[in-house]
Structure 1
Amino acid sequence: MKKVEKSIHYLYVIIFLLGFAGCQSNNLSPKIGNITEERLLNSDNEPESWFTGGRGYKQAYYSPLNDINEKNIKQLGFAWDFDIDFETAFQATPIVVDGTLFTAGNKGNVYALNAASGKLLWSFKPEIRAEVFDNHCCGGPNRGVAVWKGIVYVASIDGYLYALDAATGKQIWKIDTIVDRSKGYSSTGAPHIAKDLVLIGNSGGEYNARGYVSAYNINSGEMAWRFYTVPGDPDKGFEHPELEMAAKTWDPNSVWENGLGGTVWDAMAYDPELNILYVGTGNGAPWSRDLRSPAGGDNLFLNSILAINPDNGRLLWHYQTTPADNWDYTTTQKMILAELNMDGKERKVIMQAPKNGFFYVLDRETGELLSADPYVYVNWASHVDMKTGKPVETGKGDYSKSPKLIFPSSQGGHNWNPMAFNPNTGLVYIPTNEAGEIYSIQKTPFKVKEKGWNPGVSFRSVHNSSSYPEDWPPLEELTKGEPDTYPRSYLKAWDPVKRKVVWEVEIQYAMETLRHDRRYGGVMTTDGNLVFQGGIDGHLKVYEATTGKLLHDIDAGTSIIAAPMSYKIGNEQFVAVMAGVDGNQQTNADYLYGNKGRILAFKIGGGDVPKRPVLNRNVQLADKGDAANFSKAEIKLGQELYNINCTGCHNTGRAPKLLPLKANVENEFYDIVLSGDRLAKGMPSYKDVLSKKQVNAILSYLKVTDE
């Protein structure tokens, strides 16, 4: 009996140990969302997967798949879609690993789908206070998730970072990433992974936020370090040594209470071989350097690429693309890591096309500037001095004394929409914007609005004549000697070695709108010699990567501004993209079919994309019969307040146009502006910014002004 009992005892021990080992194995190697550093480094061995926003750690938005190619591309059609009941801009690129697609909708909603069928596996919706939109305009876009070792990471619009179980969507932990909730912070970017850290920045540069990036332990959520991108008031000390150096490039009497900007609202990349984290920083706040730092200075680390050691959060090197930023020329655009032969030497490089109009190639180990060339028309600078690394200003960008027409516009030569690099062609495909904008410094004394719009600048498209201030110089004077000022978008193929455009395609849309910041979508390229790009007209277009020849055009029926991606299930290659853009402009597909988002997937042999019902867009305009009741002084005040508070969204395509004024908007105007009745659609309340008298002045201006 004792021998039997002993044998049974040993059997239980063995079973327990095997079970424990099995649990440990499952924990170390989860079946869902199991992206690891080893898989990322060897991503070329798994062409069927799309591991990060840009696919691999190099963030090239390049797929090694070629089942879909030049020969069969015309057979590409609808495979499946997944509807999202939310009305605003969808900007994320999905991640696909081991048959599961993960992506973020707006505000920080997350969806996990079967990548073959589009069937929902689970979804996650963060709890967000409605008043968060007092902190941020335009509907709470989100640029995606990070997936790592069975966990999905996402940042919600109100600045919380979530860790979710990739198999179930269950919350593992939640961390508040915002340092001061009295300021206008929010989060719109995708988290990024570096070793055992998950990193996230924040948005709100125009809303008195001070930029920083934070690093958290991937398992516990415990903060490892935080790097501020601009100094605070020097009299209060510095959070880390780099800020003491940076403070020397600022006026001691800078408007510290406005945060100064530099927000990390999008681009990051991590090189696991060099163990370097790259972070792109945002614009200055206010935009005007004369208001922000009156005594001058480069204002580090605005508009910079920062190379950071993730082990300790210390700066390794930095490069500033636009010293003393004056134009909202953010350096938050996606950065691509590559190996290029530069002047006969193989170099590990980092490439970026920031807003300022110059394409940069840097040695990613040392920060050495290798090239900087204009990829769009630029008039604020003549060139970049290769010895100093600084742009040489022409004076045409100085609007401190009088309004100036400046190229590129505040939307930049290239905005957040991802560009792509194809190692076979050696070309970078950039969605570009050729547009100028008139800038004028705020005439009234600059006063910080808590959680309010604080650029300190009025800005206008030349073609937005309906709100053109009477005291500005004639348009003929401002446009003299400049090229055609109508906003145009191009898909450009840039050779980073030969430093020139190889081919370009103009993106053709109808001319009824000035939504020049969203006239194009992000880009993806593949080993099939293809380049994919969507547009606000609802068409997904496919070009030959070597020549730019249009090969295929799919009418998706939903506006597209996000970058597509590609993956493979079994023997079938798919292309997928997030679709949906806010607003109701006539060139949008949304104008016909509504604003709700969707995920669209395509495959060879697919059919036509199903369209939603056409909406009735007939609207009644406001009655102008009482326009004579408004005084000239009231209308002038309304125009000035409109320029300061409203144009940043409503005149750039980030939100619907207010002109001509619609009857329903007029009837609800005070509730919308002061009571926050459209918070759910991204329109913040201005109750702490504007008085009822001031709102009435804005309404009077809108009432008397035509389109």
Structure 2
Amino acid sequence: MCISRRITLFLPVILLAVCGVASGNIPGDPAYAESLKPTSPKQPGAIDEARMAQADAEPQNWYATNRTFAADHYSPLSQINDSNAERLGFAWQYNTGTTRGLEASPVVIDGVMYATGNWGVVYALDAATGRELWTFNPHVDGRWARRACCDIVNRGVAVWKGRVYVAALDGRLFALDAGTGRQIWVRDTIIDHDRFLTSTGAPQIAGGNVVIGNGGAEMGVRGYLTAFDAETGAFAWRFFIVPADPSKPQENPELAIAAPTWGPKSRWDVGGGGAAWDAMAYDPELNLLYVGTGNGSPHPAFVRSPGGGDTLFVSSILALNPKTGRMKWYYQTTPKDSWDFTATQQMTLLDLTISGKLRKVLVQAPKNGFFYVLDRATGELISAEKYTDVNWADHIDMKTGRPVFTAQGDYSREPKLVYPGEAGGHNWRPMSYSHRTGYVYIPTLDFPMVFSLSRDLAYHRGTDNSMDVTDRAAISRAQKGEADIPVIRHDTLQAYDPVHQRAAWSVVTSTDPEQSGGVLSTGGDIVAQGDATGFLNIYDARTGAPLSHIRVGTGIMAAPVSYAVAGRQYIAVMAGLGGASAWEFPENSAGYRYGNAGRIVVFALDGGAVPTPALVDRSVVAISPPSGIRTSPEMIARGARLFDYARCSGCHVPGKAGIAPNLLTMQESTHRAFDQIVLGGALSAAGMASFSDILTQSDADDIHAYLANEAKNAATGYVAVRH
């Protein structure tokens, strides 16, 4: 499990008084305001390792996606606090002009905000007013929209030494001038364009390099990450996460460890997975880059690698030398992962006193439902306990570091109800660690899934190759064997004690799973989190008591950030539903009521009411199609199957409102242009790419027949719309 050497680490500790968050600091205090001002004018984006290491000395800035090298998503600022949170109101907003998911946490440096939207578009704004300074559009071809498993999202930028680094959805990595947005260099990170690889995560600066991974395991890819010299863009190294077909050479020496854990009949045609699509962290003193890796491809280990072992390095935490790409240690959170239990969730680097000893640790709440505390120098497992309902494993064996599997997790012969479900106990939404309370605030998902093996075990380019399914018909059968485990379906915000491995408090934030956003905690003892109903919610960090609920009018998935300009503290959040879980808008969501116009919304004390969008008329649920569309029972039945096969149903939910158009309300002109749209790519610029590479004219005709029949039936009330 561990191949490391002992390394020592010292992280500077900045006194809270220096940070401007001591208990004597109050809003309006001139000394406090002065402490938040830059000491001298700086080049835009002038961040380096020394300044980042002293981040708490400049609490007005939010230096990176999760603020610091520690990736704690915590602000020391205290002007907005538990005694005045009800005074929080609207300061300014910026309209992104988008209607898809927004997942990024903005970076704010010396009064300038850098945020990303769909495709990898970058917005540079005046952080006090929202005035646009510049924008950068990577001009991604619309065909990449269907290459992404989970929307055309982007989770942020890296800013370093006067440059802004962003990865576009199509895998190109850009270096931009932080002052002007001018492109300095661009590199293509995708080495096999026949596979559906994409980039949605924020780049990570480490050891003089900028590192980026790729996503796409559900589409059938082989995961890797790539490092480039941050200054010149020169290729530095590439680390492949899973081995290649043994008939081919293995690209990095670590694969000699991984290869024996895969069976000789592994599904190399599907790719293997392990994509590093999100979380990374960097410890400059240890000179270690931490990378969370994704699920296997296909999902079931018994299909992915028949007769194999743990299938390294899927669903693992890797510690790499950022200068060379060589691995120091690894820890696999879910050996033989068959449930999409990625370890790509945020990793936070902390110094904690555990059993009377100060330990330098890495903590993570990955999808599998266990909260891990690891020694970040060696990879030694210190503790691992359940932070949500878990039944695929009984516990983690502290001697081996491995989960003790249960029979309930094995769906190779029959469907099984598994906790947590495929969305995990905690997904990509950032958690936050408060240095005042000592709690990690986890946006927790509490709901299961019935796993069943797909009957189609063939690889299909450009479609979902997970090879596991939710068998809705088997839910009741599976539940009968789980009478002692209630079927809970809700989101909670949980204050978790990482030292004693227990929850201090939790509150239910939504009864619709995956409808609550990422989390911010601050030196003012507040916790901020948005939700799909369009509210920003403020809680007491010590008790979980609600302090304020601010109507925004747009659903929120992203985690808020906090910063200050000229002594005034702000809280900012990107608002816009989307991602893997929001193709369909629940009727209580802001997306359903107000639409889904993307915005950056910023709050401050004594602000006003947030401007809300106009209500959307949802009265029209279907429009009868024009005459002349050829249909037959055989075409309709085949079209329904193709609608799922081609992943049309992943974006368009027939008869439902969502981020993509409701195809049962197509106008006559759209029906007439159906072939030009589906096969010709007429709406590629809007994200509706051509499907001509996997669909024939006959296929398109059958899908059209299916949709026309559904629209006719729904419009006349003949039958219920298929879900």
**TM-score, normalising length: structure 2:** 0.86
How many angstroms does 1:358 deviate by? 0.8
Give, in whole Å, the separation in 1 of the partners of 2:648 and 2:142.
Answer: 20
Aligned counterpart, 1:459: 470
Equivalent residue letter for 2:90: F
How many angstroms does 1:570 deviate by? 1.2
How many angstroms does 1:277 deviate by? 0.3
How many angstroms does 1:691 deviate by? 4.5
Q: 1:477 to 1:408 in 2, by over 3 A?
A: closer
Equivalent residue letter for 1:457: D
Which of 567, 571, 575 is the matching residue for 1:571?
A: 567
Residue deviations 1:130-187, cap 9 Å, x none? 2222422444100000000100000000000000000100000000111111110111
Residue deviations 1:40-72, cap 9 Å, x none? 111111111110111111000100000111111
Root-mean-square deviation (CA, aligned residues, Å) is: 2.8
Aligned counterpart, 2:373: 361
Q: Tell whether the 8 Å contact from 1:620 to 1:663 is kept in structure 2 after alignment.
A: no
Residue deviations 1:62-95, cap 9 Å, x none? 0000011111111110001111111111000011
Give, in whole Å, the separation in 1 of the partners of 2:65 and 2:348.
Answer: 12
Q: Tell whether the 8 Å contact from 1:205 to 1:262 is kept in structure 2 after alignment.
A: yes
Equivalent residues in 2 for 1:412-431 (5 A)? 412-431=424-443
Aligned counterpart, 1:179: 191
Q: Tell whether the 8 Å contact from 1:456 to 1:644 is kept in structure 2 after alignment.
A: no
How many angstroms does 1:494 deviate by? 0.6
Q: Tell whether the 8 Å contact from 1:641 to 1:694 is kept in structure 2 after alignment.
A: no
Aligned counterpart, 2:522: 526
Give, in whole Å, the separation in 1 of the partners of 2:213 and 2:478.
Answer: 42
Q: Does 1:492 align with 2:494?
A: yes
Give, in whole Å, the separation in 1 of the partners of 2:443 and 2:606.
Answer: 28
Q: Tell whether the 8 Å contact from 1:268 to 1:334 is kept in structure 2 after alignment.
A: yes
Q: 1:416 to 1:680 in 2, by over 3 A?
A: farther
Aligned counterpart, 1:294: 306
How many angstroms does 1:695 deviate by? 5.7
Give, in whole Å, the separation in 1 of the partners of 2:657 and 2:220.
Answer: 19
Which of 234, 243, 247 is the matching residue for 1:231?
A: 243
Equivalent residues in 2 for 1:254-273 (5 A)? 254-273=266-285
Give, in whole Å, the separation in 2 of the partners of 1:314 and 1:325.
Answer: 24
Which of 455, 458, 461 is the matching residue for 1:447?
A: 458
Secondary structure (helix, strand or coil) at the match of 2:263 reads: coil
Equivalent residues in 2 for 1:193-342 (5 A)? 193-342=205-354
Q: Tell whether the 8 Å contact from 2:520 to 2:561 is kept in structure 1 after alignment.
A: yes
Give, in whole Å, the separation in 1 of the partners of 2:375 and 2:138.
Answer: 40
Q: 1:598 to 1:657 in 2, by over 3 A?
A: closer
Equivalent residues in 2 for 1:92-131 (5 A)? 92-131=104-143
Equivalent residues in 2 for 1:26-41 (5 A)? 31-41=43-53
**Between 400-409 and 169-178, the greater mean CA deviation after superposition:** 400-409
Which of 576, 580, 587 is the matching residue for 1:580?
A: 576
Aligned counterpart, 2:550: 554
Query: Could you list the runs of 5+ residues in structure 2 that have no partner in the other structure?
Result: 1-40, 711-718
Q: 1:676 to 1:491 in 2, by over 3 A?
A: farther
Give, in whole Å, the separation in 2 of the partners of 1:386 and 1:675.
Answer: 56
How many angstroms does 1:617 deviate by? 2.4
Aligned counterpart, 1:596: 597
Q: Does 1:689 align with 2:694?
A: yes
Residue deviations 1:593-615, cap 9 Å, x none? 22221111111110000112222
Q: Tell whether the 8 Å contact from 1:139 to 1:682 is kept in structure 2 after alignment.
A: no
Aligned counterpart, 1:84: 96
Q: Tell whether the 8 Å contact from 2:288 to 2:320 is kept in structure 1 after alignment.
A: yes
**TM-score, normalising length: structure 1:** 0.88
**Between 603-612 and 476-485, the greater mean CA deviation after superposition:** 476-485
Equivalent residue letter for 2:500: K
Give, in whole Å, the separation in 2 of the partners of 1:143 and 1:552.
Answer: 26
Q: Tell whether the 8 Å contact from 1:285 to 1:292 is kept in structure 2 after alignment.
A: yes
Give, in whole Å, the separation in 2 of the partners of 1:101 and 1:422.
Answer: 23
Q: 1:391 to 1:683 in 2, by over 3 A?
A: farther
Q: 1:680 to 1:330 in 2, by over 3 A?
A: farther
How many angstroms does 1:188 deviate by? 0.3
Residue deviations 1:547-576, cap 9 Å, x none? 000001110111111000111111211111
How many angstroms does 1:638 deviate by? 3.5
Equivalent residue letter for 1:275: N
Q: 1:391 to 1:618 in 2, by over 3 A?
A: same
Q: Tell whether the 8 Å contact from 1:139 to 1:683 is kept in structure 2 after alignment.
A: no
How many angstroms does 1:271 deviate by? 0.5
Give, in whole Å, the separation in 2 of the partners of 1:672 and 1:392.
Answer: 50
Residue deviations 1:449-483, cap 9 Å, x none? 223221112225xxxxxxx45xx475575574154
Aligned counterpart, 2:503: 501
Q: 1:695 to 1:225 in 2, by over 3 A?
A: same
Equivalent residues in 2 for 1:653-668 (5 A)? 661-662=664-665, 667=671
Residue deviations 1:7-37, cap 9 Å, x none? xxxxxxxxxxxxxxxxxxxxxx961110111
Give, in whole Å, the separation in 2 of the partners of 1:123 and 1:473.
Answer: 48
How many angstroms does 1:253 deviate by? 2.0
Equivalent residue letter for 2:490: R
Q: 1:415 to 1:696 in 2, by over 3 A?
A: farther
Q: Tell whether the 8 Å contact from 1:420 to 1:428 is kept in structure 2 after alignment.
A: yes
Equivalent residue letter for 2:262: W
How many angstroms does 1:232 deviate by? 0.8
Percent of residue pairs identical: 45
How many angstroms does 1:625 deviate by? 13
Give, in whole Å, the separation in 2 of the partners of 1:642 and 1:618.
Answer: 26
Q: Tell whether the 8 Å contact from 2:100 to 2:659 is kept in structure 1 after alignment.
A: no
Give, in whole Å, the separation in 1 of the partners of 2:610 and 2:454.
Answer: 47
Give, in whole Å, the separation in 2 of the partners of 1:216 and 1:233.
Answer: 26
Q: Tell whether the 8 Å contact from 2:209 to 2:323 is kept in structure 1 after alignment.
A: no
Give, in whole Å, the separation in 2 of the partners of 1:341 and 1:185.
Answer: 41
Equivalent residue letter for 1:430: I
Residues matched between the structures, number: 663
Secondary structure (helix, strand or coil) at the match of 2:644 reads: helix
Equivalent residue letter for 2:442: I
Q: Tell whether the 8 Å contact from 2:101 to 2:576 is kept in structure 1 after alignment.
A: yes
Give, in whole Å, the separation in 2 of the partners of 1:532 and 1:616.
Answer: 31
Give, in whole Å, the separation in 2 of the partners of 1:36 and 1:568.
Answer: 20
Give, in whole Å, the separation in 2 of the partners of 1:161 and 1:273.
Answer: 27
Q: Does 1:372 align with 2:368?
A: no
Secondary structure (helix, strand or coil) at the match of 1:273 reads: coil
